[in-house]
Amino acid sequence: MQEQRYFDLYADSGGFSKAVSNLVLKAGFPSKFKLMPLEGGRNNKVFCIEHGNIKALLKAYFQHPEDKRERLKAEYSFLNFAHSNKISCLPKPIAADLQNNLGLYQFIEGRKLGISEVDQEKISSALNFFIDVNKYKNTSEAKSLPIASDACFSIKEHIAHVEKRLERLKEIKNDSEANKNAIIFIKNKLLPELNKAMKNVNKFIDDFKIKANEKIPNDAACISPSDFGYHNTLLDKSNNLIFIDFEYAGWDDPAKMVCDFFSQPEVSVSLNYYDYFIRKVADNIANPEEFKKRVTALLPLYKVKWCCILLNDFLEPDAERRNFACGFTHGNENLNRQKTAQLEKAGRYLENMEF
């Protein structure tokens, strides 16, 4: 029933307007305001709330009955935690409506970062943000944060996380040209890359005599922004780097954070920064040498994971989430075009992978 209630909220403009108005009033904003949709959201609907010079960002989170992750709760609690510890390089949380999956946040005037703009200064900014957040990981407030989405605390869990994504891709129906091409790509390109990555992981297990199902110690876990990378940043008017989108944030293995950071394809990060980045993260971790080797062993596996993510538009409920955020419909020409574009991106990503 949750799915029906949630979609009814947007099908009934009156119901949506009422929920937004209640949230805005709860936050102390004027009763009269403009609600303007914004482009760029791939998972949620995003709006600008405006009254005169006052602005706020409204996020309407997609929820599917097969996906139990509480994205609004994760993002709002992470932002609250960061700002309570005076970490200011991310938006302030203002108000939330958990029942209707609505979050209200500080509106950041800024622009997306280009790949050519990722330099030593930007790398240091990302590191400082991660390190600052984890200075407070032993506080009672930190311990109340959720486990990150798809968190992994053992080698076995890392492997299972990626294999699960590939298993889901096997559900693609051979009922269109785009889907047929995706199925061929997965069989002929992606699965062989998984096999190569698994050899790398197994060598690490053998060399270090690691028990694959043994979890990292609690004190080695980190508070992870999750989906961490420059694709989730804005440069504000003062040229400061602002980090955004924390709907998957929570406790996780720092090795996963590093692998994701260097694997996300949208604003890719050169491996020229890898040694510096991993060394800085390892400085705050017990047994840093084992940590570095674990990241190096897992990195090819996470490249496969991100290739799978590029193919999410071929799946349910991912395609429905994209439809919700972007207005695509099943069988729609726009959706088929999007699928083809994502398959081409996945092909280029595999061809250009660095290890």
My answer on whether 254 and 344 are in the same domain is: yes
pLDDT over 50 (residue 5)? no
My answer on whether 173 and 277 are in the same domain is: yes
On whether the CB atoms of residues 250 and 99 are closer than 8 A, the answer is no
Residues of the chain with pLDDT > 90: what percent? 73
Mean pLDDT of 233-245: 95
Last residue of a domain, one of 82, 107, 132: 107
**Which one-letter amino acid corresponds to residue 86?**
K
My answer on whether 248 and 185 are in the same domain is: yes
My answer on whether 153 and 103 are in the same domain is: no
User: 0.85 exceeded by the pTM?
Assistant: yes
CA 336 to chain centre: 24
My answer on whether 100 and 187 are in the same domain is: no
My answer on whether 86 and 205 are in the same domain is: no
Last residue of a domain, one of 75, 107, 139: 107
Question: How high is the mean pLDDT of the chain?
Answer: 89
Q: Which CATH number belongs to the domain containing residue 185 in this structure?
A: 3.90.1200
CB under 8 Å to 134, separation ≥6 — which residues? 222, 223, 284
On whether the CB atoms of residues 326 and 168 are closer than 8 A, the answer is no
Q: Which CATH number belongs to the domain containing residue 103 in this structure?
A: 3.30.200.20
My answer on whether 86 and 70 are in the same domain is: yes
My answer on whether 278 and 308 are in the same domain is: yes
* 282-325 pLDDT, tens digit each: 998 888 988 999 999 999 999 999 999 999 999 975 555 555 55
pLDDT over 90 (residue 126)? yes
Segments forming the whole domain that contains residue 38? 2-107
pLDDT at 7: 36
Q: How many domains does the chain have?
A: 2
Report d(CA 234, CA 294) in Å as an integer: 31
pLDDT at 320: 57
* 130-169 pLDDT, tens digit each: 999 999 999 999 999 999 999 999 999 999 999 999 999 9
My answer on whether 90 and 155 are in the same domain is: no
